[in-house]
């Protein structure tokens, strides 16, 4: 009985990690893909965040501070009030800093979720992280395993940008980030959809 249970768990584990995300792909020479191009400097998005029945809307500014390692992310309401102001810096021991945050969002679980979402989007990982590449006729996948989760960056070979990011836990998808359109080194539209958490983030480029 125990052996049978082990087989079932092993099959489920294999299924969750390998199928269907990599179906039709073959392992390839490592290729690093980026959501924001190396010469990205700043982007402004019209933004809406819906979380547990609360709606926030306004403008989000994402600005690179240092080359590929440090970003400032500021979300302003339509009246110009800061909803949150985050800094991400891979070069510092304390990689994440909150400069300001509005009280309704100032909850540890929500802050950690927002942090993880944008670290995934900005592709901020330790320098020694390893990844694997897979390729098909139309797209390339870069798979990064980090903190017990599998992160998949799906890169369109024709349009030359990351169209989606999938984050999977042991059995199920936890987060899907969809990117549509691309101009001036960043996606035009970005949608964060969580599985099991009532949180949706939509970004639409202004400039």
Q: What is the pLDDT of residues 116-146, one digit of tens each?
A: 999 999 998 887 888 899 989 889 999 999 8
Can you give the pLDDT at residue 22?
65
Q: Could you tell me which residue, 17 or 20, shows the higher pLDDT?
A: 20
Can you give the pLDDT at residue 21?
65
Can you give the pLDDT at residue 92?
61
Residue 42 falls within a domain, yes or no? no
Can you give the pLDDT at residue 207?
76
What is the residue-averaged pLDDT of the chain? 84
**Residue 70 φ/ψ, nearest 5 degrees:** -140, 130
What is the percent of the chain with per-residue pLDDT over 70, rounded to a whole number? 85
The distance from CA 76 to its chain's CA centroid, rounded to whole angstroms, is 21
Residue 201 falls within a domain, yes or no? yes
**pLDDT (mean) for 38-62:** 94
Domain boundaries, position 190: 2-35+48-54+104-205
Stretch among 23-27, 38-42, 49-53, 112-116 having the lowest mean pLDDT: 23-27
Per-residue pLDDT band for 20 (boundaries 50, 70, 90) equals low
Residue 41 falls within a domain, yes or no? no
Q: Is the pLDDT of residue 2 over 50?
A: no
Q: Specify the pTM.
A: 0.84
Count how many domains the chain has: 1
Residue positions counted in the chain: 207
Residue 156 falls within a domain, yes or no? yes
Can you give the pLDDT at residue 162?
92
Whether residue 20 is preceded by a cis peptide bond, meaning omega within 30 degrees of 0, is: yes
Residue 74 falls within a domain, yes or no? no
Residue 95 falls within a domain, yes or no? no
Nearest Cα to Cα of residue 63 among 81, 88, 84 = 88
How far is 112 from 174, CA to CA, in rounded Å? 14
Residue 10 falls within a domain, yes or no? yes
Q: Is the pLDDT of residue 88 over 70?
A: yes
**Residue 12 φ/ψ, nearest 5 degrees:** -60, -40
Residue 65 falls within a domain, yes or no? no
How far is 128 from 163, CA to CA, in rounded Å? 25
Contact between 46 and 59 under an 8 Å Cβ cutoff? The reply is yes
How many other CB atoms are found less than 10 A from the CB of residue 108?
A: 7
Can you give the pLDDT at residue 9?
37
């Amino acid at each position: 009985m125990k052996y049978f249970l082990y087989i079932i768990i092993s099959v489920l584990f294999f299924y969750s990690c390998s199928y269907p995300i990599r179906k039709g792909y073959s392992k390839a020479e490592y290729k690093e893909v980026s959501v924001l191009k190396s010469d990205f400097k700043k982007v402004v998005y019209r933004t809406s965040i819906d979380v547990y029945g609360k709606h926030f809307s306004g403008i989000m500014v994402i600005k690179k501070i240092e080359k590929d390692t440090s970003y400032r992310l500021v979300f302003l309401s339509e009246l110009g009030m800061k909803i949150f102001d985050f800094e991400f810096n891979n070069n510092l021991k304390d990689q994440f800093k909150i400069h300001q945050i509005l009280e309704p969002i100032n909850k540890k679980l929500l802050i950690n979720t927002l942090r993880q979402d944008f670290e995934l989007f900005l592709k901020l990982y330790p320098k020694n992280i390893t990844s694997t590449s897979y390729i098909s006729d139309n797209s390339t996948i870069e798979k990064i395993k980090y903190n017990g989760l599998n992160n998949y960056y799906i890169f369109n070979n024709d349009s030359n940008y990351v169209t989606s990011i999938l984050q999977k836990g042991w059995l199920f998808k936890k987060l899907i980030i969809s990117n549509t359109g691309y101009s001036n080194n960043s996606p035009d539209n970005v949608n964060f959809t969580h599985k099991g958490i009532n949180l949706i983030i939509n970004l639409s480029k202004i400039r």
